[in-house]
Structure 1
Amino acid sequence: MSDCEAIIYGSGAWGRKAYWAYLYRYDVICYVDRNPRRWGTRLNGLEIRPPEVFTQHSEAVVILAIDNAAGIEEYIWSLGITKIERYCYDAAESLEPAMIYGTGTIAREVMRTCQKRFRVCFFVDAADRPGEFFEGRRIITPQKMQEYPDACLIVPDADAGSLKSIRETFPGDILLHDCGRGIRPALSRMEDHHPCVFVDVTMSRQKKQGEGVARVADRLWGELSKFGTDMIPVWDMHGTLVTDFAYAGREREEMQVVFQKGDTLLLLDPSVGAYCRDFQQILKEAKRSGTRILAVVHDFIPNDFPELFSETICKIFFRWHDLVLSEADGILCDSKHTVKKAREYLAEHQIRREAPLTYDTIPLGGDMSLSSMKTKIRSLLKSFMMELPVFLVVGTIEPRKGHRTVLQAWELLRRTTSSARLLFLGHDGWLNLEIKEAMELHQRKDFLWIKDADDAELAFAYQHATGLIEASVDEGYGLPLVEAASFGLPVICSDIEVFHEVMGGEAIYVPVNQPQKLANAMKKVLLEGKEKQPVLKHVPTWQDAGRKLLHVLRGTAKPITNEC
């Protein structure tokens, strides 16, 4: 291990992975994150600290483990720190971190056979051997491995008798290794079962509710789970699907999935494309067994507007959609607009298929279950919403969503009236430095950006806003539009095809990237009052979406077409 100290900036998914990539290059001493809620907590055995720690370690290497590093790098340079490296995580190419149980001939063989798939970081030995190394890796005790739940533990079959005690010590994923069968989960195999619908929740189980498409996947799973125990949530454990009965609130032993003829595999969350390498094998196994494969597809926007996304997002998008459109039996889209885009993608990328692809649409629900929302509304949001009219914008801060246009329109509006406020609810996204710089110019009492609003606060904003603005360049559906409509909130939105499909004539349409015309629409709502604006009367519900999805899974729904 190097004597050179390193600090990892970012404690999200990339930060977790960066630790393992740099473990034996530098002496990684801590994480740094801007979020005060994370300060003092630990990740991979290291404390997460505020940015002020940089001034105490000016000679350390700073590893930027975030997707959007623009601006951050300049800030670190301003502190006099010159040794900066960017970590770019690519799940399709990176190795998964792992520990091997034991030291000796068998452990050495395990490392040799799994090093193309895993990044072996530690060996585990019951004897306390501080400072010792085996095969160039540090030896740690079983008690120490608790600090690294993100790394899987590979146990040789010869030590399988110790699994019970190992499980009591280690909370992460445990894999078994034998020379004949390779690496597999340390779970029983789910064989000779009745036909099941295996619903992939790989991404949903590791994301906070409310983040992007995981929120949609959560709601769809919530509806599916009402229809019987043959709906089984599963997730990717290092290339093998295993059950996640705990995710469904069922007390059952978790098992390794073995596909059988008559089963269905539903890929509910497209962002699982981050695990594309694993799913290439999983989908092949499903097809060999005669399992039907269905995949939810929300949009094809990175194909039409690649300049609006980071290189990493585009790479994952293309790998995943090329795989799904070649291997799945059918895709489920939010809108007919997305179905059209899917056909165009198939032709443009010349994707070969063994059989025609089927298409179905599952319009997403706009209803929000207020009875289940017990989170308190922060006082800052309450006071902001109560005094003056507020225009609401919902969505991740990224170029496609049109936040810059909204800010420009709001400035034009304020030249004629000072009575309107602007509220952004959305996570910090990508390629958004210019947008955030523009937002900083508006950091006053009439503008507010909340990055971490939950469903309760989102519903509160819908209830008390004057109007919703969705100025997107393109969308696959437009969930905030129907959510707003469920609260009787007028919608001002881009004049794009999919919004007309979702809202019909019950919205105020403005051309894309036209701040003046957007300002005129906002002024119209203020002058006439929101009660006189068009509002969508028939809002689709999540129950509707769940029932339609069930019909597709049962084979009783008529697909749009069987032609590619």
Structure 2
Amino acid sequence: MSDIETQRRKIDAYLLENLSAELDALNRYPIDPYSKWLYVRALEFYWTSSRALRSLRESVDQLRGVKKTELPDDLDGEVPEPAQKPQLLIDMTPTVRSGARTGIQRVVREIARQCALQGLGAPITIQDDGRFLRRYPVAGLSEEIEPEAGDILLLLDAAWNEAPLYPPAMRRMKEKGGTNVVAIYDILPLLHPPLFNRKVGGDFARWFDEIVRASDAAIAISRSTAESVVDYLSAAPSGKPLRVGWWPLGADFSKSAKGAPSAKAHRIAEGAPYFLSVGTLEPRKAYPAALGAFERLWAKGVDIGYTIVGRPGWNTTALQERLRTHPEAGRRLNWLDQASDADLHLLYEKARGTVNASVAEGFGLPVVEAAMHGAPVIASDIPIFREVGGSGARYFDLLAPESLAAAIEATLAEPRRSPQIATIGWRESAAEMVRVIRQADYPLRGT
């Protein structure tokens, strides 16, 4: 049996165990089957209805004359006119509409911010009527942008929940003689459907078929992700070739990290040594396996804390309950579900190390963020972490609490040293992304 097949079977077994825990959590309450069915449907509705509610709120704001603007610290000073022609139009519509600042939205905001400040391109939002509007005003230039021959539309944002917005915009670019490039963060809903709820999986598959396959090129956030796209396309060919490249993400925190950390973050940072995990609570992050490793250590008398920073996600009811009711909750086990950038910055700086237990990732931003802050990195042994962490991270067997516990003890036995992991800032990341796009540096090709 191949290593890939062994890992796939491990992941499937883990997902089955996770599903069983979710069902047990529901069965602990005296609810009739119909009510349980409604509860599950309500959870799915919660995760997929926020876009409609945000759009309604924005429409009301427009009628009232309220204009949504970026927070003052998003940009430093005046935005220059983009220096290069043809124009690079950088879509960030879903991020602007959601107001979110974590995960993919962090990447979109940082890349758009740096492209605007360096004059590398024009961040835009696409309106429901098809107009392209500058996100950041440029002195002497109109807010509305009219695409021209040779221009490039970069679909930078996570757009699977906004997919109907994009085909008309893409057709408009092609009619004007331009090209469409789509950014890909991962294709995990296609490769591991049980990791996601059905609505997300369906929306993602539709986005991939209608947007990615229709694009002229794709740019992924890692070589591993780029290769997975090519492999997937080759296994399900559409007849239209797609050129694929990649670029590395930045790891520094922008000025959004300024301000005072919360009292809880201070208490954790100034207390006993702790390890840190960062990311939404969702099945692919494998938090139950990570927590199992710390429970083994606590049972042996190892006095070490475990802190999780991440919003609650789907199919984690049992995990959330476990975190809130754990005997170590609020002591050696802490979960911050509303952490600010200032909180995260402080927690990275003071962490004894970081734990990245994911079964699948598109890049693994917490790995390079930890390295940027000088925190040792422990990561599950999956290809993307090997690509990003290289020899500077300590690896453990996938979904194996005993292997992770051994890695934690090995890290504790050493002085806290900054890992030798290559990192770049968002300024350099944005410049490299633009270079790949403008030079059409797409070495891979899917069909």
Post-superposition shift, 1:523?
Answer: 1.3
Post-superposition shift, 1:368?
Answer: 2.3
Distance 1:250-1:489 versus aligned 2 partners, 3 A rule: farther
Cα distance in 2 for partners of 1:248, 1:429 equals 35
Where do 1:361-380 residues align within 5 Å? 361-369=246-254, 373-380=257-264
Superimposed CA distance per residue, residues 32-71 of structure 1 (whole angstroms, 9 cap, x where no aligned partner)? xxxxxxxxxxxxxxxxxxxxxxxxxxxxxxxxxxxx9997
Task: Read off the aligned partner of 1:357 and give its amino acid letter.
Answer: L
Query: Comparing 199-208 with 403-412, which one deviates more in the overlay?
Result: 199-208
Post-superposition shift, 1:218?
Answer: 0.7
What is the match of residue 387 of structure 2?
501
Specify which of 347, 350, 353 is matched with residue 464 of structure 1: 350
Cα distance in 2 for partners of 1:493, 1:206 equals 33
3-state SS, counterpart of residue 293 of structure 1 = strand
Specify which of 129, 144, 147 is matched with residue 259 of structure 1: 147
3-state SS, counterpart of residue 388 of structure 1 = coil
What is the match of residue 220 of structure 1?
111
Post-superposition shift, 1:209?
Answer: 4.5
Contact 2:296-2:405 within 8 A present in 1 as well: yes
What is the match of residue 233 of structure 1?
123
1:293 aligns with 2:180: yes
Distance 1:250-1:519 versus aligned 2 partners, 3 A rule: farther
Distance 1:323-1:239 versus aligned 2 partners, 3 A rule: farther
Cα distance in 2 for partners of 1:209, 1:498 equals 25
Distance 1:168-1:475 versus aligned 2 partners, 3 A rule: closer
Specify which of 207, 210, 221 is matched with residue 98 of structure 2: 207
Task: Read off the aligned partner of 1:368 and give its amino acid letter.
Answer: F
Post-superposition shift, 1:433?
Answer: 1.4
Contact 2:127-2:133 within 8 A present in 1 as well: no
Q: Over aligned residues, Cα RMSD in angstroms?
A: 3.5
Distance 1:96-1:501 versus aligned 2 partners, 3 A rule: closer
Query: Comparing 490-499 with 274-283, which one deviates more in the overlay?
Result: 274-283
3-state SS, counterpart of residue 131 of structure 2 = strand
Aligned length: 404
1:521 aligns with 2:407: yes
1:357 aligns with 2:242: yes
Identity of aligned residues (%): 27
Contact 2:248-2:429 within 8 A present in 1 as well: yes
Give the alignment's TM-score, normalised by structure 2.
0.81
1:559 aligns with 2:446: no
3-state SS, counterpart of residue 433 of structure 2 = helix
Where do 1:95-114 residues align within 5 Å? none
Distance 1:496-1:250 versus aligned 2 partners, 3 A rule: farther
1:425 aligns with 2:312: no
What is the match of residue 283 of structure 2?
399
3-state SS, counterpart of residue 206 of structure 1 = helix
Cα distance in 2 for partners of 1:373, 1:340 equals 33
1:473 aligns with 2:359: yes
Cα distance in 2 for partners of 1:76, 1:95 equals 33
What is the match of residue 197 of structure 1?
88
Post-superposition shift, 1:395?
Answer: 0.5
Distance 1:515-1:563 versus aligned 2 partners, 3 A rule: closer
Cα distance in 1 for partners of 2:383, 2:296 equals 27
Unpaired segments of 5 or more residues in structure 2? Answer: 1-21, 69-84
Task: Read off the aligned partner of 1:436 and give its amino acid letter.
Answer: Q
What is the match of residue 420 of structure 2?
536
3-state SS, counterpart of residue 468 of structure 1 = strand
Cα distance in 2 for partners of 1:546, 1:492 equals 27
Post-superposition shift, 1:440?
Answer: 2.6
Contact 1:259-1:286 within 8 A present in 2 as well: yes
Cα distance in 1 for partners of 2:358, 2:229 equals 20
Cα distance in 2 for partners of 1:334, 1:422 equals 29
3-state SS, counterpart of residue 358 of structure 2 = coil
Contact 2:234-2:446 within 8 A present in 1 as well: no
Runs of at least 4 residues off by over 3 Å: 68-78, 81-97, 148-153, 167-173, 247-254, 561-564
1:307 aligns with 2:194: yes
Task: Read off the aligned partner of 1:206 and give its amino acid letter.
Answer: R
Contact 1:92-1:276 within 8 A present in 2 as well: no
Give the alignment's TM-score, normalised by structure 1.
0.65
Superimposed CA distance per residue, residues 356-414 of structure 1 (whole angstroms, 9 cap, x where no aligned partner)? 32222111112224x65322111111112222110100000011001000110000011
Post-superposition shift, 1:562?
Answer: 4.9
Cα distance in 1 for partners of 2:49, 2:294 equals 44
Cα distance in 1 for partners of 2:242, 2:334 equals 45
Cα distance in 1 for partners of 2:63, 2:140 equals 18
Specify which of 264, 268, 271 is matched with residue 156 of structure 2: 268
Which structure's residues are more often helix, by fraction? 2
Cα distance in 1 for partners of 2:51, 2:331 equals 47
Superimposed CA distance per residue, residues 534-564 of structure 1 (whole angstroms, 9 cap, x where no aligned partner)? 7124322222211112213332x53223564
Superimposed CA distance per residue, residues 432-455 of structure 1 (whole angstroms, 9 cap, x where no aligned partner)? 112112213322411110012122
Post-superposition shift, 1:96?
Answer: 6.9
Cα distance in 2 for partners of 1:431, 1:168 equals 38
Distance 1:310-1:546 versus aligned 2 partners, 3 A rule: same
Cα distance in 2 for partners of 1:368, 1:427 equals 19
Contact 1:90-1:312 within 8 A present in 2 as well: no
Distance 1:462-1:82 versus aligned 2 partners, 3 A rule: closer
Unpaired segments of 5 or more residues in structure 1? Answer: 1-67, 98-117, 119-147, 154-166, 174-193
Distance 1:385-1:264 versus aligned 2 partners, 3 A rule: same
Cα distance in 2 for partners of 1:275, 1:152 equals 19
Contact 1:234-1:241 within 8 A present in 2 as well: no
Highest RCO, 1 vs 2 (Cα 8 Å, sep ≥ 6): 2
Distance 1:234-1:91 versus aligned 2 partners, 3 A rule: farther
Cα distance in 2 for partners of 1:493, 1:512 equals 9
Superimposed CA distance per residue, residues 219-275 of structure 1 (whole angstroms, 9 cap, x where no aligned partner)? 1112211232x7222223225133034x457686533x5432111101111x21211
Which structure's residues are more often strand, by fraction? 1
Post-superposition shift, 1:479?
Answer: 0.5
Tell which structure's C-alpha radius of gyration is larger: 1
Contact 1:394-1:480 within 8 A present in 2 as well: yes
Cα distance in 2 for partners of 1:168, 1:399 equals 41
Contact 1:91-1:275 within 8 A present in 2 as well: no
